[in-house]
Amino acid sequence: MLAARGEGLRKVSADGEDSEVMTLAEVAGYLHLAERTVLRMAQRGEIPAAKVANQWRFMRSLVRDWLAAKMQMPALRAGPSDCDDGPLALGEILRPELMSLGLRPGPKPVILRQLVAPLVEAGFARYPSRLLAGLMEREEMMTTGIGNGVAVPHLRRPVPGMFSTPAVAVGTCPQGTDFAAIDGQPVHTFFLICATREDIHLELMARVSWLSRQGIAEELKDARSAQEAATIILQAVEMAGRGRP
């Protein structure tokens, strides 16, 4: 039996131990934490998670990357910082020139090339071929379609010198496209993570994971300009009562 619809997901063994998509109980066991602790972390956006049919689901590889980044954060914080002024605010990392509205539906390589195009045009991505290859490599490992109409393409590890500053590049596909999301639904909104360090990668992933649960995909798909898209995102944050998710 398959763990979930989508490429890159492994088959589930009889006892469920090899499933790429994990339940709350399985993540609690994996992290050796109480289920209620993991539930609170998911609700607060402190761990990559998504709600599928009103149930919390976690991708094993995302949780593994999250834990690895957590373990490295003390050492990283001891060195030079890309965000010395404190946590990154969404308003600081949303770059209108990096947004791709009206993506054409198509296979993953087609979508990813469209997402990367404005980064290249703006001179933001220094190694575009390496970026595309890394994004596809990540998709081949497992889908980044986390459900609720959202996908979060990202490199497995930040590439030194790839981006000068952290950012989240936003793409929308009004028609929706098959991105092998874990809930089997079309993806309308893409958040491409552009991180400069492991700890920043972790922070951006947590913020976007939280944002995806605010029903943002349905609103964003009809945005007609980059400014309108940015306003929709910031309003979602404000309405949720969390100015800095």
pLDDT tens profile 163-217: 989 999 999 999 999 999 988 899 999 999 999 988 788 778 877 877 777 778 8
Reported as a pLDDT band with limits 50, 70 and 90, residue 15 is very low
Q: What's the pLDDT score for residue 129?
A: 95
Q: What's the pLDDT score for residue 71?
A: 62
CA-CA distance, 85 to 88, in Å (whole number)?
8
State what percent of residues in the chain have pLDDT above 70.
Answer: 80
Tens-place pLDDT, residues 88-143: 666 678 888 999 999 999 999 999 999 999 999 999 999 999 999 999 999 988 88
Helix or strand holding residue 132 (H, E): helix 128-141
Residue 23 has pLDDT above 70, yes or no: yes
CA-CA distance, 65 to 232, in Å (whole number)?
29
Length of the chain as a residue count: 245
Residue 243 has pLDDT above 50, yes or no: no
Q: Which of 62-71, 74-83, 93-102 has the highest mean pLDDT?
A: 93-102
Average pLDDT over residues 18-32: 87
The candidate with the shortest Cα–Cα distance to 42, out of 158, 212, 166, 199, is 212
CB 223 within 8 A of CB 234: no
Tens-place pLDDT, residues 222-232: 888 988 988 88
What does the DSSP 8-state code read for residue 96?
A: G
Q: What's the pLDDT score for residue 202?
A: 79
Q: What are phi and psi of 49, to 5 degrees?
A: -160, 160
Q: Provide the CA 124 distance to its chain's centre, in angstroms.
A: 19
CA-CA distance, 203 to 87, in Å (whole number)?
8
Q: Which of 16-20, 84-88, 110-114 has the highest mean pLDDT?
A: 110-114
Q: What are phi and psi of 197, to 5 degrees?
A: -150, 165
Residue 157 has pLDDT above 80, yes or no: yes
Average pLDDT value over all residues in the chain: 80
Residue 7 has pLDDT above 90, yes or no: no
CB 199 within 8 A of CB 82: no
Average pLDDT over residues 68-96: 55
Average pLDDT over residues 15-23: 66
Average pLDDT over residues 70-86: 43
Edge-first strand listing for the sheet containing 150-151: 145-147, 150-151, 187-194, 167-177
The candidate with the shortest Cα–Cα distance to 22, out of 49, 46, 54, 43, is 49
CA-CA distance, 91 to 75, in Å (whole number)?
27
Domains and their CATH numbers in the chain? 21-239 (3.40.930.10)
pTM for the whole structure: 0.70
Q: What are phi and psi of 87, to 5 degrees?
A: -60, 145
Average pLDDT over residues 26-48: 89
